[in-house]
């Protein structure tokens, strides 16, 4: 069992609070992703777990053992760095064997382990080369190999794919996921790319300004973001936020109303939103929850004026004007939508999001 | 009609000369020509002249005649020459060795993060910035047999009964000039290596921390191999400058006592300028060249292999 637990962990650089009150338990074998914009404290948190950064408050436990003041080598972790951090003057073999040699492992066992790992990663042919003779993707594999060969209790990944080109990144994402399924070792993965987070994580931690915003399964976070920041950060393209939408009560039903749009609120949300009747809220609509409609009288129908059309293959992104606001909709690629024409959109009402304008917390 | 021919002839000349100029070798040669001329006048000419003089019996005020290898042969039979050769090698080896060790150590210390590191780094540079002639004079006073402040201090606190004769005794004089050379040359190593240390990616050390490397292993397996190319270049430069040194020793001891601190540079100057025997002086200085040439050759071979 290698469970990683953080209790009220904090990190201060002078007066700057980089990480605050970080409490989280990562289960054995779980693939946990820390995601957030740059400067949100995700890498700092990872480095504190690695022991490369002292913690200012709280405690970190790996496998039930408090590691607050333990040096990195005694934490039984392996880390893959953003820039790979391969020793440039050593061959691939020596890079992978370095840690094992320091552990005083017998030569033939090192040889066998390195070869086995290199075989698994498809880098057997490069063992005698130096890092500068490898492509970005190959270096990435060597960095992975150096971590895997040590069979640690926990893997720490610091944006390992961010230096690869888009195509290779998708491929490596898949391979990393397969590797994890195979090895089933507790992994913590830091990224600023929400798609990487969504596709790879068993669970995701969304961070902002050194604080956890939400922890949950990828779809749970996507479907039920706890606040406006999470709603805007997770999902691509970004959610539309309609500020100043009013909740109105008519004949026992609730509507969210803004200029050019009157959307009935599903009954399941009545209880939560009834206190906001007559008040302004922030309405959130994901672009993919706006589709092309045919009945102007159907609930959720919205008339819009098309300003920009961007086909991306599997969808068409259209930038439309509703009332005096611009919204983005992701509609079917079969649509015959044209610029400067009216279009009838239909909002998926059960997927609407409502946020408090002050606290920015989700209301349902 | 004739005008037309002339103009087309001129046009053809212009076109062909433009072609000529745009050839890779020609344009490049023209661009480097000013630098080539400067190098020829200031380096190649004196060098060749020096070699030529070493084959003549020229003395100041009288152009000499070709005497073949006789200057070299008489040097080979001269005890002072062999003593000078020993002094030069001793001076270079000992001084460069300590400059390297101390300069490297200082670079590693100053590369750490601590308060006031900017100021300390500036102070370290001082011996290098002060003109050698001035610092040599300062040391001349420090080592003076009557007014040495070191002697004064050691006598005052009772550590010495009689003053040390720093520059009057052969062994002391040798060690003293080496010491001053080390003092002067450390900053060159420190600043150069510190710049090199800063280019080493910090994450390599972090990866090594996770791999379980001790500070010594990190130095041996990361710092040293990565700084080696720079270290070899800096060391070569230091060897060249130390081997061909002149002003420091000339000011401190003029090669004495009893020729114990003469190196090629000072002996050559003494024979050629002070003694007027340009031919013999030139022959002595000619011995500096092959040693420096070989050390440059070794370094460039090493760098080629590394890269």
- Asked whether the predicted pLDDT for residue B145 surpasses 80, the reply is no
Gap from B96 CA to chain A (nearest CA, Å): 26
Please give the structure tokens belonging to residue A253. 């039903």
Average pLDDT over residues A21-43: 94
Please give the structure tokens belonging to residue A152. 């640690």
Is the bond preceding B109 in cis, omega lying within 30 degrees of 0? Answer: no
- Asked whether the predicted pLDDT for residue B3 surpasses 90, the reply is no
Please give the structure tokens belonging to residue A347. 């909002």
Q: Any bridge partners for residue A7, and if so which?
A: A59
B75 and B209 in a single domain? The answer is yes
B108 and B24 in a single domain? The answer is no
Contact of B210 with chain A, judged by CB distance below 8 Å, is answered with: yes
pLDDT at A257: 86
B29 and B156 in a single domain? The answer is no
Judged by CB atoms closer than 8 Å, whether chains meet at B203 and A102 is answered as no
pLDDT at A120: 87
Taking the CB of residue A122, how many other CB atoms lie within 10 A of it?
A: 12
Predicted-complex ipTM score: 0.85
B22 and B153 in a single domain? The answer is no
Contact of A99 with chain B, judged by CB distance below 8 Å, is answered with: yes
Contact of B134 with chain A, judged by CB distance below 8 Å, is answered with: no
B58 and B17 in a single domain? The answer is no
Give percent of chain A above pLDDT 70.
Answer: 100
Contact yes or no for B95/B178 (Cβ under 8 A): yes
Contact of A318 with chain B, judged by CB distance below 8 Å, is answered with: no
Contact yes or no for B270/B81 (Cβ under 8 A): no
Contact yes or no for A267/A324 (Cβ under 8 A): no
pLDDT at B1: 46
Gap from A102 CA to chain B (nearest CA, Å): 7
Q: Which residues contact A222 (CB under 8 A, 6 or more apart)?
A: A198, A234, A235
For testing contact with chain B, the best of A51, A79, A153 (most B CBs within 10 A): A79
- Asked whether the predicted pLDDT for residue B5 surpasses 60, the reply is no
Closest CB to B211: pick one of A52, A81, A98: A98
For residue B221, which residues of chain A lie inside 8 Å, CB to CB?
Answer: 87, 98
Give rounded-to-5 percent helix, strand, coil for chain B.
75, 0, 20
pLDDT at A96: 94
Judged by CB atoms closer than 8 Å, whether chains meet at A73 and B211 is answered as yes
Q: Structural domain tally of chain B?
A: 2
Cα distance between the two ends of chain A: 37
pLDDT at A41: 93
Contact yes or no for B215/B279 (Cβ under 8 A): no
User: How much is the mean pLDDT over chain B?
Assistant: 88
Judged by CB atoms closer than 8 Å, whether chains meet at B208 and A98 is answered as yes
pLDDT in tens, A260-297: 888 999 999 998 998 998 999 999 999 999 999 988 88
Residue B118: band (very low, low, confident or very high) from pLDDT cuts 50, 70, 90? confident
- Asked whether the predicted pLDDT for residue B29 surpasses 50, the reply is yes
pLDDT at A1: 57
pLDDT in tens, B279-289: 889 999 988 88
Contact of B221 with chain A, judged by CB distance below 8 Å, is answered with: yes
Q: How far is CA B103 from CA A288, B188, B231, B247, B253, in A?
A: 64, 8, 11, 22, 26
Please give the structure tokens belonging to residue A323. 């009332």
pLDDT at B299: 86
The lowest-confidence range among A30-44, A106-120, B123-137, B149-163 is B149-163
Residue A35: band (very low, low, confident or very high) from pLDDT cuts 50, 70, 90? very high
Measured between alpha carbons, how far is A239 from A232 in angstroms, rounded to an integer?
6
- Asked whether the predicted pLDDT for residue A98 surpasses 70, the reply is yes
Is the bond preceding A338 in cis, omega lying within 30 degrees of 0? Answer: no
The domain in which residue B259 lies consists of 54-306
Taking the CB of residue B47, how many other CB atoms lie within 10 A of it?
A: 12
Contact of A79 with chain B, judged by CB distance below 8 Å, is answered with: yes
B231 and B175 in a single domain? The answer is yes
Judged by CB atoms closer than 8 Å, whether chains meet at A73 and B222 is answered as no
B74 and B171 in a single domain? The answer is yes
Closest CB to A89: pick one of B211, B213, B225: B225
- Asked whether the predicted pLDDT for residue B6 surpasses 60, the reply is no
At A240, give phi and psi (nearest 5°). Answer: -80, 130
Average pLDDT over residues A142-169: 90
Residue A37: band (very low, low, confident or very high) from pLDDT cuts 50, 70, 90? very high
Q: Which residues contact A24 (CB under 8 A, 6 or more apart)?
A: A5, A6, A32, A205, A212, A215
pLDDT in tens, A69-87: 999 999 999 999 999 999 9
Q: Any bridge partners for residue A305, and if so which?
A: A321, A342
pLDDT in tens, A326-338: 999 999 999 888 9
- Asked whether the predicted pLDDT for residue B166 surpasses 90, the reply is no
Gap from A103 CA to chain B (nearest CA, Å): 8
Average pLDDT over residues A37-47: 93
Single residue among B30, B46, B62 that ends a domain in this structure = B46
Average pLDDT over residues B184-194: 93
Measured between alpha carbons, how far is A208 from A183 in angstroms, rounded to an integer?
31
Beta strands in A232-300 (DSSP E): 240-250, 253-258, 261-264, 280-285, 290-292
Contact yes or no for A13/A169 (Cβ under 8 A): no
pLDDT in tens, A113-153: 999 999 988 899 999 999 999 988 899 999 999 999 998 99
B209 and B90 in a single domain? The answer is yes
Closest CB to B210: pick one of A77, A83, A88: A77
Residues A358, A361, A363, CA angle at the centre, nearest 5°?
105
pLDDT at B307: 64
Closest CB to A88: pick one of B206, B210, B226: B226
B175 and B251 in a single domain? The answer is yes
Residue B231: band (very low, low, confident or very high) from pLDDT cuts 50, 70, 90? very high
Is the bond preceding B257 in cis, omega lying within 30 degrees of 0? Answer: yes
Q: Any bridge partners for residue A285, and if so which?
A: A240
Question: Going by DSSP bridges, is the β-strand pair A77-80/A154-158 parallel, antiparallel, or unpaired?
Answer: parallel
Average pLDDT over residues B250-275: 90
Measured between alpha carbons, how far is A222 from B1 in angstroms, rounded to an integer?
87
Closest CB to B210: pick one of A78, A82, A88: A78
B17 and B125 in a single domain? The answer is no
Please give the structure tokens belonging to residue A147. 């971590």
B10 and B149 in a single domain? The answer is no
Phi-psi group of B259: left, alpha or beta (phi > 0 → left; psi -120 to 50 → alpha; rest → beta): left
CATH code: domain of residue B243: 1.10.3720.10
Q: What is the longest distance spanned by two Cα atoms in chain B? A: 107
Give percent of chain B above pLDDT 90.
Answer: 47
B93 and B27 in a single domain? The answer is no
The lowest-confidence range among A343-352, B120-129, B148-157 is B148-157
């Amino acid at each position: 069992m290698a469970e990683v637990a953080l209790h009220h962990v904090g990190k201060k650089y002078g007066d700057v609070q980089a990480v605050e009150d970080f409490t989280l338990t990562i289960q054995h074998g779980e693939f946990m992703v820390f995601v957030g914009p740059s400067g949100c404290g995700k890498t700092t948190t990872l480095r504190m777990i690695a022991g490369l950064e002292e913690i200012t408050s709280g405690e970190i436990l790996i496998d039930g053992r408090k590691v607050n003041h333990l040096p990195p080598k005694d934490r039984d972790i392996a880390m893959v760095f953003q820039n790979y951090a391969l020793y440039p003057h050593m061959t691939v073999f020596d890079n992978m064997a370095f840690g094992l040699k320091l552990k005083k492992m017998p030569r033939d066992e090192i040889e066998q382990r390195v070869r086995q790992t290199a075989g698994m990663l498809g880098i057997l042919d490069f063992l005698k080369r130096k890092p500068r003779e490898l492509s970005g993707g190959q270096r990435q594999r060597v960095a992975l190999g150096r971590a895997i060969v040590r069979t640690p209790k926990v893997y720490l990944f610091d944006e390992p794919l961010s230096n690869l080109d888009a195509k290779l990144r998708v491929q490596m994402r898949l391979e990393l996921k397969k590797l994890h399924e195979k090895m089933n070792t507790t992994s913590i993965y830091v990224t600023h790319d929400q798609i990487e987070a969504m596709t790879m994580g068993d669970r995701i931690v969304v961070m902002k300004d050194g604080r956890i915003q939400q922890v949950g399964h990828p779809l749970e976070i996507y479907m039920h973001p706890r606040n406006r920041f999470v709603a805007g950060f997770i999902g691509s393209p970004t959610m539309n936020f309609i500020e100043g939408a009013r909740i109105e009560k008519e004949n026992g039903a609730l509507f969210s109303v803004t200029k050019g749009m009157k959307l009935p609120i599903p009954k399941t949300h009545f209880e939560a939103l009834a206190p906001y009747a007559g008040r302004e809220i922030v309405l959130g609509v994901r672009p993919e929850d706006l589709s092309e409609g045919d009945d102007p009288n159907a609930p959720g129908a919205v008339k819009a004026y098309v300003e920009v059309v961007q086909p991306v293959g599997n969808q068409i992104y259209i930038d439309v004007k509703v009332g005096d606001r611009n919204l983005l909709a992701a509609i079917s690629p079969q649509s015959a939508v044209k610029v400067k024409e009216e279009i009838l959109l239909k909002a998926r009402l059960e997927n609407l999001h409502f946020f408090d304008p002050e606290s920015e917390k989700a209301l349902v | 009609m004739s005008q037309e021919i002339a103009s087309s002839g001129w046009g053809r000349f212009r076109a062909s000369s433009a072609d000529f100029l745009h050839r890779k070798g020609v344009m490049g040669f023209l661009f480097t020509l000013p630098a080539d001329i400067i190098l020829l006048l200031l380096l190649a000419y004196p060098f060749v002249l020096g070699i030529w003089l070493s084959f003549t019996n020229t003395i100041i005020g009288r152009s000499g005649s070709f005497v073949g290898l006789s200057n070299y042969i008489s040097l080979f039979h001269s005890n002072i020459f062999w003593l000078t050769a020993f002094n030069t090698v001793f001076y270079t080896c000992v001084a460069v060795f300590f400059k390297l060790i101390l300069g490297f150590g200082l670079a590693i210390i100053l590369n750490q993060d601590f308060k006031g590191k900017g100021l300390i780094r500036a102070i370290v540079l001082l011996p290098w910035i002060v003109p050698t002639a001035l610092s040599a004079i300062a040391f001349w006073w420090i080592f003076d047999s009557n007014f040495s402040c070191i002697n004064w201090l050691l006598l005052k606190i009772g550590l010495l009964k009689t003053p040390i004769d720093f520059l009057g005794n052969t062994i002391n004089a040798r060690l003293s000039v080496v010491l001053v050379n080390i003092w002067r040359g450390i900053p060159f190593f420190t600043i150069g290596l510190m710049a090199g240390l800063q280019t080493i990616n910090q994450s390599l050390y972090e990866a090594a921390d996770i791999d379980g490397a001790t500070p010594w292993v990190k130095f041996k397996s990361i710092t040293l191999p990565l700084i080696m190319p720079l270290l070899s270049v800096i060391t070569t430069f230091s060897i060249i400058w130390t081997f061909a040194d002149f002003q420091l020793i000339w000011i401190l001891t003029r090669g004495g006592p009893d020729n114990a601190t003469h190196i090629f540079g000072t002996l050559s100057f003494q024979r050629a300028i002070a003694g007027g025997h340009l031919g013999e002086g030139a022959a002595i200085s000619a011995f500096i060249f092959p040693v420096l040439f070989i050390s440059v050759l070794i370094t460039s071979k090493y760098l080629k292999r590394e890269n």
